[in-house]
Amino acid sequence: MRLYVMASFLSVLTTPLAATGALTVYEGFSEYADGDAILNVSGGTGFVNTWQPGNTLLGGAGVPSSDSVQLVPSSLAYTDTDGSRLQTAGGSLFLTGQYGSTKIARTYDQSALPHPAPPQLGESTYISFLARRSGAAADPNDPIYGGNYPWGDNLYPRVAGVNMYSNDNGDQVPLLIGNLSNVDQDVWRLSGQDLDDQSNAPIIDQPFGEGSNTYLVVFRIDHAAGDGDGDQIHMYLDPLLESEGQNTPSLVANWEKDDDPLYLPGDWLAVQVGDDSGNRPYSEFTFDEYRIGSTWEDVTPFTAIPEPTSLMLLGLSGLAVVVCHRRN
């Protein structure tokens, strides 16, 4: 009995804290068999099709080699500064530009999104994902640059990131979360032609490529009167998981055009990396745990990790239980 009580106490300390709303779109890359190619294989929820080469749905880059897109058997991991760990399912997606610029995409099932389209004033949509930008850094002293390295302090001058595409009467309207090619700062940024003039490419003073770190990105899109014009995007980078109120947005941007970045028929999710053209090292990108829901809790499910003092007390309690058990 005493051993059972100790085990139950440990279970309480590490019990996952469940979401309270409705997770409507999810891709954790855990449903694919070992060795599966990701293209044209069913997995995830909330999409109308499988992952496709980007040029099939969007034009531009596709999948130049079977090695350009790879399923990885382990998940990316994120633990916040309070010790809470994001729940993951196992598996992640890796893209490399080694064989050429690469993009894959799939289309949302509009009926699976948190709000009926068009969303109304006062409604919000939450999005989260894990990401890691990797790949070789450029060497500014390489003779190939002739003593004039053109990209400032950015040693990772090739595009990588996640795109949300809107289909605005046939026009593709991308919103990139990551970093662009040929910019002089290695930082996280938003980039979209429909962001307003004051936030055309807002940045977060956090390295994007340097260190090959894993980051958690969380978005809240506050919707305007149904058409996208006036939507406001709040982006959190590496937030505390327990509640949104613990965090301050890393950046806020305004969407100014009449094409909502998520709720138009034919909207796509895409992941992309760039090749090594123009004397720029190719980029690599790992993507995981993509979630869309109607609340913060939907997209940040976590497991609370016991503090060291709790573990110490648990260990002493366990020792006492074992001693008592042996005496009895």
**What does the alpha-carbon distance between residue 155 and residue 276 come to, in Å, rounded to a whole number?**
13
Percent of the chain with pLDDT over 70: 77
Quick one: average pLDDT of 85-113? 93
Query: How does DSSP assign 229-283, residue by residue?
Result: TT-EEEEEES--SS-GGG---SEEEEB-SSS-SS-STT-EEEEEE--SGGG-PPP
State yes or no: pLDDT of 301 exceeds 50: yes
* Sequence-separated (6 or more) residues with CB below 8 Å from residue 260: 117, 118, 119, 166, 223, 226, 227, 228, 231
Predicted confidence (pLDDT) at residue 217 exceeds the cutoff of 90: yes
Cis peptide before 202 (omega within 30 of 0): no
**What Å distances lie between residue 76 and 129, 144, 183, 285, 288, CA to CA?**
10, 35, 27, 12, 6
Mean pLDDT value across residues 142-148 = 95
Q: Which residue has the higher pLDDT, 262 or 22?
A: 22
Q: Is the pLDDT of residue 108 over 70?
A: yes
Whole-number pLDDT of residue 156: 97
Length in residues, the chain: 328
Helix H or strand E segment including 95: strand 92-96
Burial 121-145 (b: 16+ CB within 10 A, else e): eebbbbbbbbbbbbbeebeeeeeee
- pLDDT for 40-74, tens place per residue? 888 999 999 999 998 887 778 899 998 999 999 99
Most confidently predicted of 157-161, 172-176, 202-206, 317-321: 157-161
Contacts of 230 (CB under 8 A, 6+ apart): 224, 254, 255, 256
- Does residue 3 have a pLDDT over 50? no
Question: Which residue matches tokens 């085990």?
Answer: 7
Domains of the chain (ranges; CATH) run: 19-300 (2.60.120.260)
In the prediction, which pLDDT does 47 show? Answer: 93
Question: Tokens representing 178?
Answer: 């990551």
What pLDDT does 17 receive?
A: 47
Would you say residue 127 has pLDDT above 50? yes
133 by DSSP, 3-state: which? strand
Closest CA to 114 of 270, 295, 254, 245: 295
Exposure string of 234-262, with b = 16+ CB inside 10 Å and e = fewer, is bbbbbbbbbebeebebbbebbbbbebbbb
Residue type at position 121: L
pLDDT band at 98; cut points 50, 70, 90: very high
DSSP code of residue 31: S
Nearest to 121 by CA among 221, 26, 224, 259: 224
> Exposure of 77 by Cβ count < 10 A (0-12 exposed, 13-18 middle, 19+ buried)?
middle
